[in-house]
Structure 1
């Protein structure tokens, strides 16, 4: 038996944690006040600080990103069909189904990975009431074209911005677009509160409605005015968020360091297409999606197996596509011929590991393994 200890596996992401001492300091106040939830002082403080950081006026915190989507859709009182993307995490469509809405899958743009405006327009029927695009990987959708379509057909627009924390476009915060935008603060996201999420609201009236919906629909102690749900963020999760926020710019800068290292070292490999982050005025480097095209000597799934053999665990985001899951196969729009670009991306895209603490040594290890798999060289070569 070999005495050589195999290297630690490198996963696609690793949760970024705030200083424990700062979380502890904030929790001491929670223990003193004994206010654990229901919009306590840390919850209120985090709403204010996040709104200021993100460049938005109104932000409602919730317990997770999926609840944020559920409530956002409920707040707009939608019915019928909602045009959305097949190329996303399944929660995007599940939020529609839970609200009794029918997802209609349109195709995506191969550069932004967001909904293709032309495909959106082709999917509109008399039953269409809204569009639910995703700022996939934090890359901005074509927000102006989508808004023009929405205005022309009198549709609502709800952005799943789970990947887009801190991203800025030509006019400031990307989160200002649409009727509502939804964030996730899951452990794997750029900014996390362990679990959490938020809804970006255009005005105080909308925020008030959302705040009621996330608290069972209560207006006051004796009045329930809406069919609400319990989606409140606790003080513990708010404490984590408050401790995270001062270091978020440094964390994003470290993500950029990783992205630039990949671009420097993987730029000349045949059949490997690297992402372009210049679509945003300010990117957050949430993911590093590469495409393995038919010009490469191996396909995406073969590359995954080669990397896993070296202890590197990338992810095929997004595979399978949402319409390929059993629950959605009977959907009327679940036909790959309707979304050929998304189907192609589902076969080609692979997300390489990226997180602030990814060391230079591990970066080199990943790059050597990718290069070796594509060129046929040894992963041990520098």
Structure 2
């Protein structure tokens, strides 16, 4: 008579070996190596029956920025697995150990079993991530964007890039704008946008540019720096390709990483020797608390957050703005149905208005923080959620 197989309640996937294998290669290549491996394991985990009642704890090593910059290669794993957890409650967890030993992993797993889906272990102590409200006063790091030099906005001919371009000219005194997109001057509305910004007093140049290509970015930044000076960068380019983690393929992950994560890294490389006033990355709360159905997009955005932390640690300007859905008929927000809006409001995360989005952009730009989360939170709705409140929001819902 066959005996029932003893199936563990918790299984550990350690990404340490993947990170070691990715060392010494270009960062975007390393990111793909690690994310593809984890995606493959996650899909197998969801497709199989053996571990249907178990939890997979994905362990990274030094990926989370705690007191210092984290590893940008491993960091995107957190976005991908957060999506898997949001879609499959109780099936996944995340743990980060700083280099660490097996004892650190054991401590992390114990914390997961105790009810924390995301933990970091430092010197034997367990840390958990929580979003908190930033105090309102701005820092002393308000970037002067009305100085000579060009401000480069990727994805600048439409969507959030165009919204921000108008703000920079009308409210921050920017007088030299370079807007890029794949179609450049041929993009819908590009001509009208240029005319509007010119009327407001800015010199505007619109270029067709694939910012996911390293050589293209290097040439663009080099020409701007030498010919007119480069004052600031706002990286708003990106695409979405929503789908449940179990249905994602490496190709779908790569297609989303390229214009957002790869481009951000190439911009970082090309500008790290320049004296920029600001380096702004348009990230998304889709890497943090709105992850369901956005595993590839979440991974790309967590990369931006990690890159901002790395740049700050290196003494370079950087702010990653992790936005909730912004009601401007652009970006992923343009795909929201009325049902989506009601669902998000019932979850305590209502859509941002146009005005609120710009107010948060201004506040984030002036705070001097590596990452800010531009998100509306309805705490009353959070407390009445029937599903599990994401760990990152638990500090905002006191019992």
TM bracket, shorter-chain basis: under 0.3
**TM-score, with normalisation over the residues of structure 2?**
0.27
**TM-score, with normalisation over the residues of structure 1?**
0.28
